[in-house]
Amino acid sequence: MTLTVSRIEITPTGLALGAVITGVDASHPPEPEVILQLKQAWRNHHILIFKNQTLTDDQLLAFANYFGDILQQPAYIRKGETEQYLPPLVLTLANAAAQDSSVNIRPNYQELLPHIDHYWLPVPSSGSFLYAVEVPENGPDTYWVNLAKAYEELDNATKQQIDGLQVRYFNFYGSRDRDEYGEPKYAAGRKPEPGERIAIHPLVRTHPDTGKKILFLNAASDVDIVDYDHVEGAKLIARLQEYIKQPQFAYRHKWSKGDLLYWDNQATAHYRPEFNAYATRILKRVSLRGSRPF
């Protein structure tokens, strides 16, 4: 079975971002016209929401691959281990109750602050697919932030203040010396710790497809601003981190089993609250390679 353009409906959420796509079965190959239409909808709405999907890992990978090259995350050393671990192309995100002995499972139930996937790489991912295998009825919900809209609504003085600034991000995931969920802070002048990755990105990014300016800000890691006053830099980052949490920039997704979301990692951040570690929640993620932010 192939998908035709006439069978697809694109319904915007009416919020700051997001559109629900009907008429698409991601387990089957779409026609070229369908792929082009979905790519344009993704550029326009930043998140595509496909409901009632039934996918194997291979089918998820195959569908994602129509939209770009699959990202292979670099190897890292997990806390308490000595050998390098290469993450799978399909990453399983599960809370403690859902875990088994599989190396493909990453614990995932604590609060996640607003973050951009793979911000800690010199070349972050362009987008991610997240597929709900099993979710609890009472949440948690996930929130996405429209960082293009957030930039557009900044006052002119702040736009001038942040123009040209570069942010240094510290990432602890994979370090044996600090918990992944350490409280982020402004970290001017700090040197990297063992196992830590550092990336420097523009605070205002240009979207490579649309040309729009993006407030490219991650709130889930230690940061500092390159060549900037430490005190003023800490104040600026704290103010912007609170600014992007405002409801007018957000889409809130209530998960159902079979949901598949594909979001633009170049123009959004996402977050969710902590939830009950004993409520089974299993999701599968595939990410796409991106380009160096500019």
> Percent of the chain, pLDDT > 90?
68
pLDDT score of 178 more than 60: no
pTM, entire model: 0.89
pLDDT in the model for residue 109? 77
Torsion of CA 247, 125, 174, 62, to 10 degrees: 110
- Mean pLDDT calculated for residue range 212-221: 92
Element (H, E) at 32: helix 32-45
Q: What is the pLDDT of residue 277?
A: 81
Q: Is 238 helix (H, G, I), strand (E, B) or coil?
A: helix
Cα separation, 96 vs 166, whole angstroms: 37
CATH, domain range 5-288: 3.60.130.10
| pLDDT higher than 90, residue 111 | no
Tell me the one-letter amino acid at 90. Answer: V
Indicate if the pLDDT at residue 182 is higher than 70. Answer: no
Tokens representing residue 153 in the block: 């609504």
Query: How confident is residue 275, by pLDDT bands cut at 50, 70 and 90?
Result: confident
pLDDT of residue 282: 92
Phi, psi (deg, nearest 5) at residue 35 = -60, -45
- Of 44-48, 199-203, 208-212, 274-278, which gets the smallest average pLDDT? 274-278
Average pLDDT in the 127-136 region? 96
Pairwise CA distance, residues 6 & 17, whole Å: 24
> Could you give the C-alpha distances from 237 to 187, 217, 222, 226, in angstroms and in order?
11, 9, 11, 12
Residue 179 predicted with pLDDT over 80 = no
Tell me 54's DSSP state: -
Give mean pLDDT, residues 131-145: 94
Evaluate if residue 130 carries a pLDDT over 80.
yes
Least confident range of 8-22, 171-185, 250-264 = 171-185
Dig out the tokens for 146 from the structure: 């429209």
CB burial of residue 114 (10 Å; 0-12, 13-18, 19+): buried
> Between 76 and 91, where is the model more confident?
91
For the chain, helix (H) and strand (E) counts, in that order, are 5, 17
Q: What is the mean pLDDT of residues 19-29?
A: 97
* Mean pLDDT, all residues of the chain: 88
Asked if residue 70 has pLDDT above 70, the reply is: yes
Position 24 scores a pLDDT of 96
For residue range 26-66, list pLDDT tens digits in order.
Answer: 999 999 999 999 999 999 999 999 999 999 999 999 999 99
Instruction: Please check the confidence at residue 217 and state whether its pLDDT lies above 80.
Output: yes
176, pLDDT greater than 60: no
Output 233-239 pairs: Cβ under 8 A, ≥24 positions apart: 233/186, 233/188, 234/186, 234/188, 236/161, 236/162, 237/167, 237/186, 238/186
Nearest partner of 74 among 177, 161, 196, judged by Cα: 196
Residue 4 has a pLDDT of 46
Residue with tokens 């308490």: 80
pLDDT at 254 over 90: yes
Q: How crowded is residue 52: how many other Cβ atoms within 10 Å of its Cβ?
A: 11
Average pLDDT over residues 211-216: 98
Please say if the pLDDT value at position 265 is more than 90: yes
